[in-house]
Amino acid sequence: MKELVNAFKNNKLASISLIFILIVILAAIFAPYIAPYNPDKINVNSILLPPSFAHPLGTDQLGRDVLSRLIYGSRISIEVGFIAVSISLFIGIIVGSYAGYYGGIIDSILMRFVDIMLTFPSFFLILAISAILKPSIINIMIIIGLTSWMGVARIIRAEFTQNKEKDYVLAAKASGASAPYIMFFEILPNTIAPILVSATLGIAMAILIQASLAFLGIGIMPPTPSWGGMLSGGKTYIMVAWWLTLFPGIAILLTVLGFNLIGEAVRDALDPRYSGEK
């Protein structure tokens, strides 16, 4: 924990990113209390108003307040990011743990399955599945989680392969501990660094994928506010209402960049091998 705190102290960009991400998360949690307007309220008298004191980020083609929709849209991004990554981590940890701990035929079967999954372009696979299933936030979270666990599995497998012959594992085996106990209570806690890094970077990727799907009109459907959907809706008016694409684009950019910078800081702090290479 001390190394993690020092990493953020010594990395101003990571510290700023952490503050920004915390603000986004708090905005998502308290959206009903801080949004100045109802994000879905249509006002024909306020269509395409530029940024002003009454509407700091302007209004859209239906007279809805852009700032309020951005705040509510953060809920979708954060929810999809965290839940999708939780699903991918769960699957990746299970597959990687068993492959790395047991080795042999189990390792071969599981890793060949991982290789097969990696042969499919993940985004196009997500597009295909999303087009088949009924559009909903639940489906989007599940789809992203089920198609993004392979990298985690390979990382966990490598960590288990390196750790399974260490003294603390041999001592646990000698004491009669079961294989599941050794895997998930002895070895897994010692792989927390790559798991945290994978989770942080995975959240950024999940947010970007969700925004891309919404931009393409797949997944989160109007009038539910989402950053990708706002970006898509504003592209028609880009020449007359620049704020409709600028502000959602900035929100996506800064959030994804923030999680990536946090992930790099965590990796620097907790992964001595990477720090040594630098």
Distance, in Å, from the CA atom of 90 to the CA atom of 78, rounded to the nearest integer, reads 18
Alpha helices of the chain — where are they, by DSSP H?
Answer: 2-10, 12-29, 31-34, 66-102, 104-119, 122-132, 137-146, 150-163, 167-174, 179-181, 192-215, 227-234, 243-270, 272-277
Mean pLDDT value across the chain: 89
DSSP 71-138: HHHHHHHHHHHHHHHHHHHHHHHHHHHHHHHH-HHHHHHHHHHHHHHHHS-HHHHHHHHHHHSPP-HH
CA 58 to chain centre: 28
Q: 116-152, pLDDT tens digit by residue?
A: 988 887 778 787 777 777 777 888 898 899 989 999 9
- Write the pLDDT tens digit of every residue in 75-109: 999 999 999 999 999 999 999 999 999 999 999 99
Residue 180 has pLDDT above 60, yes or no: yes
Return d(Cα 5, Cα 112) in angstroms, integer: 39
Q: How confident is the model at residue 215 (pLDDT cuts 50, 70, 90)?
A: confident
**pLDDT (0 to 100) of residue 267:** 84
Q: What is the DSSP letter of 182?
A: I
Write down the pLDDT at residue 264: 87
Read off the pLDDT of each residue in 234-254 and give the average, rounded to a whole number: 93
Q: What is the predicted pLDDT for the residue at 278?
A: 47
Residue 165 vs residue 153, higher pLDDT: 153
- The mean pLDDT value for 51-72 works out to 95
Instruction: Look at 22-26, 101-105, 273-277 and tell me which has the smallest mean pLDDT.
Output: 273-277
- 114-118, 164-168, 266-270, range with the lowest pLDDT: 266-270
pLDDT higher than 60, residue 274: no
Q: How confident is the model at residue 276 (pLDDT cuts 50, 70, 90)?
A: very low
Percent of the chain with pLDDT over 70: 96
| Distances from the Cα of 73 to the Cα of 87, 119, 203, 204, angstroms | 21, 33, 16, 15
Q: Which domains does the chain have, with CATH numbers?
A: 2-277 (1.10.3720.10)
Lowest mean pLDDT among 1-5, 39-43, 115-119, 206-210: 1-5
